[in-house]
């Protein structure tokens, strides 16, 4: 009898780990970007309103199969380089291999493709018992803190994630993850990603999840150098790194 139970559990786990799932996300600007006490608050508010209008154009998907996942922006080539929403929401593809905890980020800059390999970030999540329901799933709150020195003073930035333990995937929007469940909502200092739909198998007949291979393989530091080189070649301003 024990052997039968073990076999049933193993087959159930294997079936779940191979299941195809797709989660659709939208994005808005984060409230923390607006400071009413700032002397330029009126201009910032107008900028954010325009930004949110462009963010409405964007739809993202997180596709998962077994231990692999892929985050991508829908129809990203239809948006120009100058699209404000795309600049804030991001347009990189993120492929995650749960067996190695490695990410592959495929970036595009001035029509040039790059592949950046990196480990999953350690966000040092602080877990909470606070819950809320998202799309029928009970989600728990987790908070990550980051301290930066701005104008000589320490300033703390918060990333707030709501993850669903019922969905046994340690990933979320972009390269956010590392929690005991899929992140269905995430707010950082700039943006808020929120899941709007979980697609059933009949709604995703063209399910494709492939590791990005197109692009020059570089480190994150090398990518900054390439950005400056390409910008300089085209007469655009360069950035310090």
Residue-wise DSSP of 23-57: EEEEEEE-GGG--TTSTTHHHHHHHHHHHHHHHTT
* CA 52 remoteness from chain centre: 18
Determine the pLDDT at residue 14: 38
Q: Per-block average pLDDT, block size 10, for the chain (241 residues)?
A: 42 49 92 57 72 88 94 88 84 94 92 92 95 98 90 87 96 96 95 93 76 92 91 77 51
Determine the pLDDT at residue 201: 75
SS3 99: coil
Distance CA 58, CA 205 (A): 22
Name the nearest CA neighbour of 93 among 182, 233, 209: 209
Determine the pLDDT at residue 145: 93
Distance CA 18, CA 152 (A): 50
Helices (H) and strands (E) in the chain, counts: 4, 12
Question: pTM above 0.75?
Answer: yes
Kindly report the backbone phi and psi dihedral angles of residue 177, in degrees, each rounded to the nearest multiple of 5, phi listed first.
180, -155
């Amino acid at each position: 009898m024990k052997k039968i139970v073990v076999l049933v559990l193993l087959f159930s786990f294997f079936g779940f780990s191979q299941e195809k799932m797709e989660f659709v996300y939208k994005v808005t600007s984060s409230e923390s970007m607006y400071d009413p006490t700032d002397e330029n608050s009126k201009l910032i508010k107008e900028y954010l309103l325009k930004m949110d209008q462009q963010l409405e154009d964007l739809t993202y998907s997180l596709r998962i199969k077994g231990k692999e996942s892929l985050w991508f922006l829908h129809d990203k080539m239809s948006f120009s380089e100058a699209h404000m929403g795309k600049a804030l929401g991001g347009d990189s593809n993120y492929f995650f291999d749960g067996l190695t905890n490695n990410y592959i980020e495929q970036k595009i800059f001035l029509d040039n493709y790059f592949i950046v390999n990196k480990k999953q970030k350690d966000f040092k999540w602080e877990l909470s018992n606070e819950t809320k329901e998202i799309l029928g799933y009970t989600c728990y709150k987790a908070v990550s803190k980051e301290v930066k020195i701005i104008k000589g003073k320490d300033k703390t930035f918060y990333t707030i994630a709501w993850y669903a333990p019922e969905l046994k995937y340690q990933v979320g929007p972009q390269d956010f993850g590392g929690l005991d469940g899929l992140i269905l909502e995430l707010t950082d200092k700039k943006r808020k990603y929120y899941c709007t739909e979980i697609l059933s198998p009949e709604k995703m007949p063209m399910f494709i999840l492939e590791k990005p291979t197109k692009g020059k393989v570089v480190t994150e530091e090398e990518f900054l150098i390439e950005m400056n080189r390409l910008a300089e070649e085209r007469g655009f301003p360069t950035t310090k790194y």
